[in-house]
Amino acid sequence: MAGAPIKVMIVDDSALIREFLREILSKERDIEVLATAPDPYVARDKFLKKRPDVIILDVEMPRMDGLTFLEKLMAAHPTPVVMFSSRTQKGADATLKALRLGAVDFLAKPAANLGENLANLSDELVAKIRAAAGAKVRRQRVDIAKTLTVPKKVEVDQVVALTKAPPRPGGPMVLLIGASTGGTVAIEQVLTRLPADAPPIAIVQHMPEHFTEAFANRLDGLCNIAVYEAKDMQPVVPGQALIAPGGQHMLLERGSEGYRVRIRQGPPVNRHRPSVDVLFRSGVNSAGANAVAVIMTGMGDDGARGMKDLHDAGALTIAQDEETCTVYGMPKAAVQLGAVDRILPLERIAPLILGLWSQNQGRAAR
């Protein structure tokens, strides 16, 4: 017997968008549009009466903006929220703030041909609603004052003894990270705990164009390391993290002078561009056993097969644990494939990375 449908409330000041979204979601047997609201004040009253499972929330609305409503909602009644954000720099900045305030995910609002483009987004919207309904909703607050004072040196013996990390073969270490739903907050919590001389890092976070640039800029202002939206042929060097640009794949290459990234268009992989699998699989030939791969919170299975290939090539592979994931989809898929060496809570990922990096640097010095 099928379970109860996912009850959704749509909050948007555009009657046209509310109707389009209602029409899309009403076609799904497991989703019920419980209510709609033109602004947060009406939404508040309907929420208290109907208690939806998931809220689709616009950012710019009259009387109260979506971010203010989200902050109040998460303080009083934490509920899965999917933001509906404009494809602009302002929309990207607002979306990142919403994710820090506790929103589970977001969907980029079409800039033109609203009806046709919303219909094209229907599968993505439905998938995000279903994932949000099962997501862990928590208000994640990063204490920047603490994260930026992480010591430069880590007690390597403690980390290695704790995790029983295998010795790394000779060669430069490179860190590859993949994430999706909930990943912006999780990646922030890892990167802000790394010192300025951290290992070279390449990251795929499922985000559209413009949003990855805003994400990189925000992290660059918070972290000891430098963080950039990646450009084609850009070197991957210690003390820097490169984030794959939205709408394009990122591959790792190794040349005579070290690692670099290649940016390619190409078709979506696992419905995503950028794809974690593309980055991870490129790391097999370019880094092999010198790679450390981390798969973090996200829906779906992107990255699982690439991580298995890295694991089989001798790379150390790490998955974020279920308890600290917003959505335990991508890490779970990798674990089920037998692709994962270590399953760790979010707060233990950075110490392990630093321990492995210290080992790698120590061997290079000998």
Final residue before a domain boundary, out of 79, 105, 133: 133
Asked if residue 152 has pLDDT above 70, the reply is no
Name the more confident of 136 and 203.
203
What is d(CA 92, CA 118) in angstroms, rounded to the nearest whole number?
A: 19
Give me the pLDDT at residue 154, please: 38
* pLDDT tens-digit series, residues 88-146: 678 889 999 999 999 999 998 877 666 667 667 888 999 999 999 999 886 544 443 34
Give me the pLDDT at residue 86, please: 81
Give yes or no: residues 121 and 152 share one domain.
no
Asked if residue 30 has pLDDT above 60, the reply is yes
* Paired residues of 285 in beta bridges: none
What is d(CA 15, CA 100) in angstroms, rounded to the nearest whole number?
A: 28
Number of domain units in the chain: 2
| Average pLDDT score over residue span 257-270 | 93
Instruction: Please report whether residue 140 resides in a domain.
Output: no
Instruction: Please report whether residue 254 resides in a domain.
Output: yes
- Other CB atoms within 10 Å distance of the CB of residue 271: 12
Give me the pLDDT at residue 365, please: 54
CA distances from 21 to 14, 62, 147, 166 (A): 11, 20, 40, 50
Give me the pLDDT at residue 168, please: 46
The number of helix segments (H) and strand segments (E) in the chain equals 14, 14
Give me the pLDDT at residue 112, please: 66
Give me the pLDDT at residue 53, please: 97
pLDDT over 90, % of the chain: 75
Give yes or no: residues 170 and 300 share one domain.
yes
Give me the pLDDT at residue 162, please: 36
CATH (domain of 287): 3.40.50.180
| Average pLDDT score over residue span 237-262 | 94
Name the residues annotated as catalytic: 180, 206, 302
Give me the pLDDT at residue 283, please: 95
Final residue before a domain boundary, out of 133, 156, 191: 133
What is d(CA 73, CA 68) in angstroms, rounded to the nearest whole number?
A: 9
> DSSP label at 138?
-
Instruction: Please report whether residue 138 resides in a domain.
Output: no
Give yes or no: residues 94 and 221 share one domain.
no
Residue 363 confidence class, pLDDT cut points 50, 70, 90 = low
* Paired residues of 243 in beta bridges: 203, 229
Tokens 């001389």, residue located = 197
Give yes or no: residues 115 and 154 share one domain.
no
Name the more confident of 179 and 90.
179
Give yes or no: residues 218 and 311 share one domain.
yes
Give yes or no: residues 188 and 265 share one domain.
yes
Give yes or no: residues 331 and 187 share one domain.
yes
Give yes or no: residues 88 and 24 share one domain.
yes
| Average pLDDT score over residue span 190-203 | 96
Give me the pLDDT at residue 121, please: 83
Give me the pLDDT at residue 364, please: 60
Give yes or no: residues 322 and 228 share one domain.
yes
Instruction: Please report whether residue 246 resides in a domain.
Output: yes
Give me the pLDDT at residue 188, please: 97
Record the pTM: 0.89
| Average pLDDT score over residue span 245-260 | 93
Instruction: Please report whether residue 1 resides in a domain.
Output: no
Task: Enter the tokens of residue 178.
Answer: 């993949």
Asked if residue 205 has pLDDT above 80, the reply is yes
Give yes or no: residues 113 and 43 share one domain.
yes
| Average pLDDT score over residue span 31-45 | 96
Give me the pLDDT at residue 137, please: 87
| Average pLDDT score over residue span 169-177 | 83
Query: Before 274, cis peptide (omega within 30)?
Result: yes
Give me the pLDDT at residue 35, please: 97
Instruction: Please report whether residue 290 resides in a domain.
Output: yes
CATH (domain of 30): 3.40.50.2300
| Average pLDDT score over residue span 59-68 | 91
Contacts of 5 (CB under 8 A, 6+ apart): 29, 30, 31, 32
Q: Could you please report the per-residue DSSP string of 190-248?
A: HHTTS-TTPPPEEEEE---TTHHHHHHHHHHHH-SSEEEE--TT-B--TTEEEEPPTTS
| Average pLDDT score over residue span 313-332 | 96
Asked if residue 274 has pLDDT above 70, the reply is yes
What is d(CA 299, CA 282) in angstroms, rounded to the nearest whole number?
A: 22
In which domain, by residue range, is 106 found?
Answer: 6-133
Instruction: Please report whether residue 262 resides in a domain.
Output: yes
* pLDDT tens-digit series, residues 222-241: 999 999 999 999 999 999 99
Averaged pLDDT of the chain: 88
Asked if residue 156 has pLDDT above 60, the reply is no
CA distances from 231 to 101, 250, 261, 269 (A): 30, 9, 8, 20
* Paired residues of 318 in beta bridges: 294, 342
Provide the residue count of the chain: 366
Give yes or no: residues 155 and 129 share one domain.
no
Q: Could you please report the per-residue DSSP string of 293-329?
A: EEE-SBSS-TTHHHHHHHHHTT-EEEEE-TTT-SSBS
Give yes or no: residues 111 and 206 share one domain.
no
